[in-house]
């Protein structure tokens, strides 16, 4: 495993040899540390609007999960536990031992896994647009999406993705943000995307909810039908002391659609422990 790098962006090699891409931004002298994990098919640039709002308040580590962005894309199968181990290796290398870990959608699953597995490293948790379990039909539903990508590539999935990602009003008002997400999505390698789909279909983190000891914020868009409000309520109900925020008129990618709300919640989570 590599050790702490002075670079603001680079790669760290985790325990199985996979190189994970990262960026560091913000106040290097701050004791406040945040790690942000992106959604399926995105990369660490997903968090740019939120990171901009956290500058001066924390040192922020954004990560390309394995199979995404500039990280290595080994053959599957992938598991959420594996993605969380990658994160553990990263925060260990950077000596982030009291970290706010937050993720959107897929990244939220990884954040939940990390917080439930390494509670002593976790200062607080942000679970955005996500779930502990996609339900009984999840393996079949995610397998269908993986198979579509493998048979026809990613381009035929774009319309399906964009209507889930953002509300109609946001898509009309911010076509440049939508296009950046589409461009990122299309840069994915099919085998890695399919492996990640199957990973999410197999994920069941319900047992982890009772293991989260840190302050936890659950946020969901009112119109999210990828990880609906009911899934967020189940997370909230399962994590003792968590808060739940439902954002009116927002869909699945709230860090892009409502970055002010997400950044404010992260600042709240960064507050000193009582």
Residues 58-101: tens digit of each pLDDT: 999 999 999 999 999 999 999 999 999 999 999 999 999 899 99
Do the bridges between strand 33-37 and strand 243-247 make them parallel or antiparallel, or are there none, so unpaired?
Answer: unpaired
The domain 9-135+204-269 is placed in CATH, from the list 3.40.50.1820, 1.10.3720.10, 3.40.50.300, 3.75.10.20, at 3.40.50.1820
Distance between CA 269 and CA 5 in Å, rounded? Answer: 26
> Where exactly are the structural domains of the chain?
9-135+204-269
pLDDT digits (tens, 9 = 90+) for 225-241: 999 999 999 999 999 99
Helix, strand, or coil (residue 218): strand
Question: Phi, psi (5° rounding) for residue 115?
Answer: -65, -35
162-to-25, 188, 253 alpha-carbon distances in Å: 28, 15, 10
Q: Name the strands in the sheet holding 243-247, side by side, starting at the edge strand that comes first in the sequence.
A: 9-13, 19-26, 59-63, 33-37, 99-104, 122-128, 216-221, 243-247
Distance between CA 251 and CA 129 in Å, rounded? Answer: 8
pTM for the predicted model, two decimal places = 0.96
The percent of residues above 70 in pLDDT, for the chain, comes to 97
* Residue whose token pair is 């000596």: 95
């Amino acid at each position: 495993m590599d050790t702490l790098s002075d670079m603001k962006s680079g790669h760290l090699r985790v325990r199985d040899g996979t190189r994970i891409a990262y960026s560091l931004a913000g106040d290097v002298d701050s004791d406040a540390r945040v790690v942000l994990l992106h959604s399926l098919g995105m990369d660490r640039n997903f968090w740019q609007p939120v990171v901009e709002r956290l500058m001066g308040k924390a040192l922020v580590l954004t990560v390309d999960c394995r199979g995404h962005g500039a990280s290595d894309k080994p053959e599957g199968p992938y598991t959420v536990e594996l993605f969380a181990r990658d994160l553990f290796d990263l925060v260990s290398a950077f000596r982030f031992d009291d970290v706010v870990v937050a993720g959107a959608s897929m990244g939220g699953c990884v954040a939940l896994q990390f917080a439930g597995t390494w509670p002593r490293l976790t200062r607080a948790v942000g679970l955005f647009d996500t779930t502990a379990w996609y339900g009984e039909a999840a393996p079949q539903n995610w397998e269908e999406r993986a198979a579509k990508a493998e048979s026809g590539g990613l381009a035929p999935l774009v319309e399906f993705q964009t209507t889930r990602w953002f509300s109609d009003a946001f898509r009309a008002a911010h076509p440049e943000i939508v296009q950046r997400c589409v461009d990122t999505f299309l840069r994915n390698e099919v085998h890695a995307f399919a492996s990640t789909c199957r990973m999410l279909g197999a994920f069941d983190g319900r047992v982890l909810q009772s293991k989260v000891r840190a302050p936890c914020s659950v946020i969901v868009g009112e119109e999210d039908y990828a990880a609906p409000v009911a899934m967020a309520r189940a997370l909230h109900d399962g994590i003792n002391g968590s808060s739940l925020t439902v954002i009116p008129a927002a869909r699945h990618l709230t860090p892009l659609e409502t970055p002010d709300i997400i950044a404010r919640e992260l600042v709240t989570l960064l507050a000193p422990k009582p």
